[in-house]
Amino acid sequence: MLFNVTDKKPQFVQRFLSSLRSQKGQMRAAMVLLVFQAGLVFTGSLVRVTGSGLGCVSWPNCHPGSLVPVAGAAPWLHQAIEWGNRLLTFVVAAGAIAFWYAVFAGGRRRELRYHAVFQFVGVVIQALLGAMSVLLKLQWWSVAMHFLPSMILVWAAAVAWVRVQEPDDGHRVAFFPEPLRWLAVGSAASLALVLATGTMVTGAGQHAGDVDVTESSRLAIDLAEIAHVHAHFMYLYLGLTIGLIVALYAVAAIKGSVLGDNPEAARHALRYGCVLIAFIVVQAAIGIIQYRWGVPRWTVPFHVGLSGVVTAYTGFVFAFGRRRVA
């Protein structure tokens, strides 16, 4: 039967909710949320590079008196892209709610419940920051305030995916040697500087997010200078990450396992670290192409999308450094 008389919910809904309560379901919910958070950043770059940032000029309506796009109010493509990006916010919110339900219904520990609440509240705040950037006509600093919290949410979702795999009744163990733990912190901090200066490069650059955005809304700084600062932080981030992974391999060669008595976790940390280095190199290469070729439009979604990827993998590696074991 399609419905259960005692519950009034369709059986497929019951099965879905039941699957979320299992640990595998919680892992899937965390990964889906991570993909949604990173995907929203990517679609946001499409809004910017196509000049669709003011395709919808008000919030929550697309145009005054209309929740949906209005024919003739703006180019239809700009309206469709901006409105579509807004709709994706509800998809991300659904992912956050699913993760919330999975953690609370599964009776998980307080740490994971904090992660679930943080993700949902973060999505709400992000929506408000997006509204603010539209109402402020895409002032560069308001767009930066919209982007950077997304990176925090991507980072937190990556850490949550690692944490949800840990036993609730276990105890916390520092797997990385203390100096390497600080090296992981340094890598994460340098990533934060890369992202922050990246928003300044974008703010001073040519892709303002809408064709009607004036120079007064842009960051009044020499583009070449801030681009070099951004690049130097990228090199620092790459160097610290390479140093961390090489050091972990060295410890593994000496002790037989990087993470104490947990060789599987050691392999995960090293594997994710090597993938992270590869993505950072590709990201740096795209940045150089942008600088040399005058920031072609096609490079922007790749560069912004990869920022979500490297942020997620940095979160993975960081989380592997200290884990809860049975």
177 token code pair: 């040697």
What is the mean pLDDT of the segment spanning 144-155? 94
pLDDT of residue 260: 53
Contact 156, 315 (CB under 8 A): yes
Tokens representing 8? 């009034």
Q: What is the mean pLDDT of residues 160-180?
A: 88
pTM of the full predicted structure?
A: 0.89
What integer pLDDT is reported at residue 213 of this predicted model? Answer: 67
pLDDT at position 5 is 44
Q: Do residues 303 and 51 touch, judged by C-beta distance below 8 A?
A: no
* pLDDT of 229 higher than 90: yes
Q: What is the pLDDT of residue 223?
A: 85
Residue of 265, 281, 242, 278 whose CA lies nearest to 316? 265
Structure tokens at 292: 């040399």
**Which bin fits 294, alpha (ψ -120 to 50), beta or left (φ > 0)?**
left
Counting residues of the chain whose pLDDT is more than 70, the rounded percentage is: 90
Please name the residue that has the structure tokens 């369709």: 10
Q: Which residues contact 21 (CB under 8 A, 6 or more apart)?
A: 102, 105, 106
What pLDDT score does 249 carry?
A: 85
Answer yes or no: is pLDDT of 20 > 90: no
Distance CA 275, CA 251 (A): 19
CB-based contact 26:108 (threshold 8 Å): yes
pLDDT for res 263: 58
Higher pLDDT, 215 or 104: 104
What does the DSSP 8-state code read for residue 3?
B
Domain borders along the chain are: 15-325
Q: Where are the alpha helices (DSSP H) in the chain?
A: 11-21, 23-49, 76-105, 110-135, 140-163, 178-204, 223-255, 263-293, 299-320
Question: Could you please report the per-residue DSSP string of 263-285?
Answer: HHHHHHHHHHHHHHHHHHHHHHH
First to last CA, the chain: 41
* The pLDDT value given to residue 8: 59
| Confidence check: pLDDT of 208 > 80 | no
- What's the confidence (pLDDT) of residue 49? 84
